[in-house]
Chain A
Amino acid sequence: MSFENYDWSDVVPIEQDDGPDPLAQIAYDPEYSKAMGYFRALAQKNEHSERALTLTEKIIEHNPAHYTIWHYRQQILFSLNKDLYEELDFIRNQVEQNPKNYQLWHHRQVIVEKLKDCSLESSFTEEVLNDDSKNYHAWTYRQWVIRTFNLWDNELSFVEKLLEKDIRNNSAWNQRYFAIFYNPTKPSEEFLEQEVQYGITKIKLAPNNISPWNYVKGVIAKSKLKIDVLEELCKTLYQQGIISPHALGCLVDIYEDRAKCGSINEKELGIQTCILLAEQHDTIRQKYWNYRKHVLASIA
């Protein structure tokens, strides 16, 4: 039954008070205004009814970012003992239209917490990520589901799928890190070495993309490995004529490490690489590379 079909004759709508100028009276859409007038009246007496539920739907349709409405809707759903799986359907439809609405995603979390059932959530977030593989809300929500319901096991293969589709997807790289290092089961040293190799393979496919570089460095930092393991990769790329500021920058990291251990030769190599980056290959970040050069030069 729709909003218009309910009997509202007993409700005295409460109008919006828009306050003083300079930011006064807004000409609201009349339908929305009417619904909001009823909402204020019902919320005041905390009415939990079918018509109130329909009313929340009406308002959400118009303005899903109205944060108060969601909590009111949850109260009604719970006190009327509504079928929460239907609510999950409702949310799915809403998310399709407003994939970046904070309130919607939080609402889903509240409903799933109440249901204590996460069986639909993986496929739901997957669907949303198929449309927009970088939707921040979807990823954060997915992490919440994994943590709350202990769903760590299949996450790496999911990430794998996304990275095969788009190797430049930074969100997927972040999720890969999450799946490995936020998992209560800690990865073995061997596993981390494989991970670095995996990253190297991917870097070769997109040497100019920052994501796998950051990822591999992140994994190295968590392992017993040192950044030197990337030296061969960086040099091979360069020899093949593939100029990647990330590869050259990684060499700067490696040379800096060695310069700190006393290598004068590598200190000079590091400085030369910084000059190359500042003057030829990454001129837009010239000041950054000049800074790195300065740091290298001041190593005693």
Chain B
Amino acid sequence: MTSTEKTERPSELFIDLHVKYIQSLDTKKDDLEYWLTEHLRLSGVYWGLTALDLMNNVDALNKEEVVKYVVSCQHDNGGFGGHIGHDPHLLYTHYAVLILQIEDSLDAVNVEKIVEYVASRQDRQTGAFTGDEWGEIDTRFSYSAISCLSLLKRLDAIDVKKATEFIMLCKNFDGGFGSTPGAESHAAQIFCCVGALAIVNSLHLVDADLLGWWLCERQLKNGGLNGRPEKLEDVCYSWWVLSALSILGRVHWINKEKLIDFILTAQDLETGGIADRPGDMVDVFHTLFGLTGLSLLGYPGLKLVDPVYCLPKYVVQRVGLAERYHAKYGGGFT
């Protein structure tokens, strides 16, 4: 590929390149960056696998080995670590369940133990969740717990009412949500809170017009979305912002063509993969969230992604959870 070609604005999604990029992650184990993110291993598998599935290439990673790896991250207390031998954490437990659902392999692990672990992360007084037994409180963890238990059909194991009350304490004057009560609205936290509320059938508590305005106000002139006012645009916000808008049935409030253009421009046509913004280094995280963003925008050639669970929609349908949260707001893909 010549350099002039590289600087051209890509006008299509190069699926084959991205599939190759994700497969190659496996062989790049000498990279400094790779061992530094070793603690993130399980999440990396989730990001890569979901991206591959959306690109109709879920088999590019060997199912048996993926499942074997996930199983080897589980501890006796039911929680999963970020890698073999790492301590259990709610985030990784959630990722493990997401991967197992994609692979349709929940029976490979002890589900009852997972439920026990996730439920034990809830503070029964406040309804909030911590990531591990010593960790901080954050609405990200509320989402992880609720999504995880919902995918296991065991929401009965926690105090849903209290959990909802805590999330609502984190709602702000601008309609958004933060990590703790009083913390600034942030698109990623909004995704977590709106997603969690959708799962527990409490979307009526969201001020959808006010929040929808805040979310679509995240779109900048170049088409990209930022996560808070006056911050830089970033491909991953294509997911955090759009998923929340989609759950609220308001995806069309952002300018679709401009955003598609922005995401496509962030592709690396040499290595494959998508970066946080055009010209930056690609990574698997932004590759996934570029693809999920495009999927929510109805981009051709990709499977539909579920805006609540961040799983391919057919997986959520197979589990029997799809569409419940659309009752109030209708479609969401208009």
Which of B36, B179, B229, B255 is close to A284, meaning CB atoms less than 8 Å apart?
B255
Please tell me if the beta carbons of B65 and A288 are within 8 angstroms of each other in the complex.
no
Are A284 and B221 also in contact (CB < 8 A) when A106-B135, A140-B179, A143-B182 are? Answer: yes
Task: Scan residues 210-259 of chain B and give those whose CB is less than 8 A from a CB of chain A.
Answer: 212-214, 216-217, 219, 221, 228-231, 252-255, 258
Query: Using a CB-CB cutoff of 8 Å, which residues 112-165 of chain A contact chain B?
Result: 134, 136, 139-140, 143-144
Decide: A71 near B255, CB < 8 A? Known: A170-B228, A174-B172, A182-B181.
no
Contact at A20–B69, with CB atoms within 8 Å? yes
A 67-100 to B, binary, CB cutoff 8 A, 1 in contact else 0: 1101100100000000000000000000000000
Q: Is A6 among interface residues, defined by CB-CB distance under 8 A?
A: no
A209 close to B230 (CB less than 8 A): yes
Range for the number of chain B residues in contact with chain A = 35 or more
Closest to A166 in B: B230
B16 contacts the other chain (Cβ, under 8 Å)?
Answer: no
Residues of A within 8 A of B35 (CB): 26-29, 32
Q: Which residues of A contact B165 (CB under 8 A)?
A: none
Cβ of A1 within 8 Å of any chain B Cβ, yes or no, is: no
Check A241 for interface membership: any CB of B closer than 8 A. no
Interface presence of B123 (CB below 8 A): no
The residues in B between 36 and 85 inclusive whose CB is less than 8 angstroms from any CB of A are 36, 38-41, 44-45, 61-62, 65-66, 68-69, 72, 84-85
Contact indicator B213/A170 (Cβ below 8 Å): no
Choose, from B26-34, B112-120, B290-298, the stretch at the interface.
B26-34
One of B183-191, B195-203, B312-320 at the interface: B183-191
Asked, given contacts A26-B35, A63-B39, A211-B230, whether A21 binds B212 with beta carbons under 8 Å apart, the answer is no
Say if the beta carbon of A184 comes within 8 Å of chain B. Answer: no
Q: Does A25 contact B (CB under 8 A)?
A: yes
A67 contacts which of B68, B89, B228, B252 (Cβ < 8 Å)?
Answer: B89
Does A18 count as interface, using CB distance less than 8 angstroms?
A: yes
Contacting residues, chain B, for A74 (C-beta < 8 A): 134
**Interface assignment of A17: CB less than 8 Å from any CB of chain B:** yes
| CA–CA, A174 and B84, complex, Å | 40
Q: Which of A20, A23, A63, A219 has the largest number of chain B CB atoms within 10 A?
A: A23
Task: For A210, give the chain B residue with the smallest CB separation.
Answer: B229
CB neighbours (8 Å) of A140 from chain B are: 178-180, 183
Cβ of A184 to closest chain B Cβ, rounded Å: 13
Is there contact, CB below 8 Å, between B228 and A177? no
Q: Are A174 and B29 in contact (CB under 8 A)?
A: no
Interface residue count for A (Cβ, 8 Å)?
62
Is B85 in contact with A16, judged by CB distance below 8 angstroms? yes
Residues of chain B contacted by A63 (CB below 8 angstroms): 36, 38-39
Residues on A with C-beta less than 8 A from B174 are 214, 218
Q: Which residues of B contact A178 (CB under 8 A)?
A: 182
Asked if A287 is at the interface of the complex by the 8 Å CB criterion, the answer is: yes
> In this assembly, does B270 line the interface, its C-beta being within 8 Å of a C-beta of chain A?
no
Contact with A along B120-136 (1 / 0, CB 8 A): 00000000000110111
Name which of A19, A177, A209, A211 has the most chain B CB atoms within 10 A of its CB.
Answer: A19
Q: CB-nearest residue of chain A relative to B184?
A: A174
Report A-chain residues with C-beta under 8 Å of the C-beta of B216: 285, 288
* A221-B173 in contact (CB<8A): yes
User: Which of B40, B173, B186, B230 interacts with A214 by CB under 8 Å?
Assistant: B173
A23 touches B255 (CB 8 A): no
Q: Does A168 contact B (CB under 8 A)?
A: yes
* Residue B328, interface by CB 8 Å: no
Which residue of chain B is the closest to A216 with respect to CB atoms? B173
The residue in chain A whose Cβ has the minimal distance to the Cβ of B81 is A68
Given that A136-B186, A221-B173 are contacting pairs, would A67 and B39 also be in contact in the complex, using a CB cutoff of 8 Å? yes
CB distance B39 to A217 under 8 Å?
no
**CA–CA, A134 and B184, complex, Å:** 10
B34, A26: Cβ atoms closer than 8 Å: yes
Closest chain B residue to A283, Cβ basis? B255
Cβ of B86 < 8 Å from any Cβ of A? yes
User: A214–B135 Cα gap in the complex (Å)?
Assistant: 32
The answer to whether B221 and A170 touch across the interface, beta carbons within 8 angstroms, is no
Closest chain A CB from B134 CB (angstroms): 5
Question: CB distance B39 to A19 under 8 Å?
Answer: no
Complex interface: chain A residues within 8 A of B30 (CB): 27
Residue A171 is within 8 A (CB to CB) of chain B in the complex? yes
B41 partner, pick from A21, A23, A65, A215, beta carbons under 8 A:
A23
- What residues of B have a CB within 8 angstroms of the CB of A45 in the complex? none
Contact across chains for B182 and A17 when beta carbons are under 8 A apart: no
The reply on A291 being an interface residue by CB < 8 A is yes
Complex: how many Å from CA A23 to CA B70? 11
Confirm or deny: A66 has a beta carbon within 8 angstroms of a beta carbon on chain B: yes
Ranked nearest first, the 6 interchain pairs of A and B with the lowest CB-CB distance are A218-B173, A174-B184, A170-B229, A68-B87, A214-B174, A106-B136
5 interchain pairs, CB-CB under 8 A: A26-B35, A29-B32, A143-B182, A215-B173, A285-B255
**Residues in chain A within 8 A of chain B (CB atoms):** 16-23, 25-29, 32, 40, 62-63, 65-68, 70-71, 74, 102, 105-106, 109-110, 134, 136, 139-140, 143-144, 168-171, 174-175, 177-178, 181-182, 209-211, 214-215, 217-219, 221-222, 249, 284-288, 291
In the complex, besides A17-B84, A68-B87, A218-B173, 5 extra interface pairs with C-beta distance below 8 angstroms are A16-B84, A21-B65, A26-B38, A174-B185, A284-B258
